[in-house]
């Protein structure tokens, strides 16, 4: 499978000369194999994927982790939605309050957006999932709720040879005085266990996290502890804070890797990264 990062920023698009290396677009990751194309989240990065959409593909599955704006703001700018012959499936979390369809329409309708979800030429199909297992093409997909405000899913995607886990907004240390805990008591562990590649929330420096406990995000330090607990092979820090420049991100990671050695490869997710897992 090929994993392409179209947006690795969190919370708000943050284009600036200081962010040009890791990018300013919000969460969007393409996972593809052959004719099967999955899109993880529809942040502002999805626009470039739409403009660069591979020719000959007639079906796309968009897997939303949750409906915070930084994960859906690009949806209306995704070119394949305007192709009548394109099959578009949108998957996302169940809520006890409103259907996924209704919640998406709150954004994709006036006054927030000029075109209504139901008027899009592709006529998208909307599917609600929670703790679910399903297959799309060669991929076996597992979704589960993870620790983040509001109904939020993480995803584990396997193709029989490799595993990628996507936890862009995740605070597994919340409520724990001794993180990491036992695996069975750790949010997201089942999704990440043994993954070849983990994309994980690493929004804050340690000192930034303390006054923001409960906001749903992790410090770089906690993200690395989680990756170690899950025994992943490679981890990329994801959901970078809008205020973190390229230099700040590098300093944060360097501080951690100088303090301790990690039994896995670790890096910083950058817009434009293409990773082949085999
Ligand atoms: Zn987010
Ligand atoms: Zn969020």
> Using 50, 70 and 90 to split pLDDT, how confident is the model at 128?
very high
Q: Give the chain's mean pLDDT.
A: 97
Question: What's the gap in Å between 167 CA and the centre of ligand 1?
Answer: 10
Mean pLDDT of 74-92: 98
Query: What pLDDT does residue 25 have?
Result: 98
Query: What pLDDT does residue 75 have?
Result: 97
Mean pLDDT of 97-120: 96
Question: What's the gap in Å between 43 CA and the centre of ligand 2?
Answer: 11
Question: What's the gap in Å between 240 CA and the centre of ligand 1?
Answer: 9
Distance CA 168, CA 64 (A): 11
Query: What pLDDT does residue 126 have?
Result: 98
Adjacent-strand bridge partners of 216: none
Q: What are phi and psi of 9, to 5 degrees?
A: -85, 155
Query: What pLDDT does residue 135 have?
Result: 98
pLDDT at 229 over 90: yes
| Stated length of the chain | 278
Mean pLDDT of 88-92: 98
Ion ligand 2: residues, Cβ under 5 Å: 68, 169
> Using 50, 70 and 90 to split pLDDT, how confident is the model at 178?
confident
Give the ligand with the smallest distance to the CA of 67. Answer: 2
Count CA atoms within 13 Å of residue 152 on its CB side.
Answer: 20
pLDDT at 181 over 90: no
Residues 6+ apart with CB under 8 A from 211: none
Query: What pLDDT does residue 278 have?
Result: 81
Query: What pLDDT does residue 176 have?
Result: 86
Query: What pLDDT does residue 191 have?
Result: 98
> Using 50, 70 and 90 to split pLDDT, how confident is the model at 161?
very high
Query: What pLDDT does residue 177 have?
Result: 82
The domains of the chain, with CATH numbers, are 2-276 (3.60.15.10)
Distance CA 156, CA 244 (A): 27
Mean pLDDT of 257-264: 93
pLDDT at 175 over 90: no
Question: What's the gap in Å between 203 CA and the centre of ligand 2?
Answer: 11
pLDDT at 50 over 90: yes
> Hey, is 180 helix, strand or coil?
coil
Question: What's the gap in Å between 149 CA and the centre of ligand 2?
Answer: 7
């Amino acid at each position: 499978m090929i994993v392409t990062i179209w947006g690795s920023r969190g919370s708000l698009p943050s284009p600036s000369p200081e962010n040009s290396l890791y990018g300013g677009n919000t969460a969007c990751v393409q996972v593809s194999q052959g004719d099967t194309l999955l899109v993880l989240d529809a942040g502002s990065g999805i626009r470039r994927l739409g403009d660069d959409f591979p020719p000959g593909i007639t079906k796309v599955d968009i897997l939303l982790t949750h409906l915070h704006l930084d994960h859906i703001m690009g949806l209306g700018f995704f070119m394949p939605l305007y192709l009548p012959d394109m099959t578009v499936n949108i998957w996302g979390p169940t809520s006890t309050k409103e259907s996924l369809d209704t919640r998406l329409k709150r954004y994709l309708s006036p006054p927030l957006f000029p075109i209504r979800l139901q008027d899009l030429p592709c006529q998208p199909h909307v599917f609600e999932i929670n703790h679910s297992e399903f297959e799309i093409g060669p991929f076996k997909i597992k979704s589960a709720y993870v620790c983040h405000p509001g109904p939020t899913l993480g995803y584990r995607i396997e193709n029989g040879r490799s595993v990628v886990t996507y936890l862009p907004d995740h605070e597994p240390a919340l409520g724990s005085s001794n993180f990491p805990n036992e695996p069975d008591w750790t949010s997201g562990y089942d999704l990440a266990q043994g993954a070849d590649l983990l994309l994980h929330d690493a929004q804050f420096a340690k000192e930034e996290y303390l006054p923001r406990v409960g906001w749903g995000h992790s410090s770089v330090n906690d993200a690395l502890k989680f990756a170690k607990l899950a025994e992943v092979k490679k981890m990329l820090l994801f959901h970078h804070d809008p205020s973190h420049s390229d230099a700040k991100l590098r300093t944060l990671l360097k501080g951690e890797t100088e303090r301790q050695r990690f039994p896995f490869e670790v890096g910083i997710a950058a817009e434009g990264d293409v990773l082949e897992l085999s």
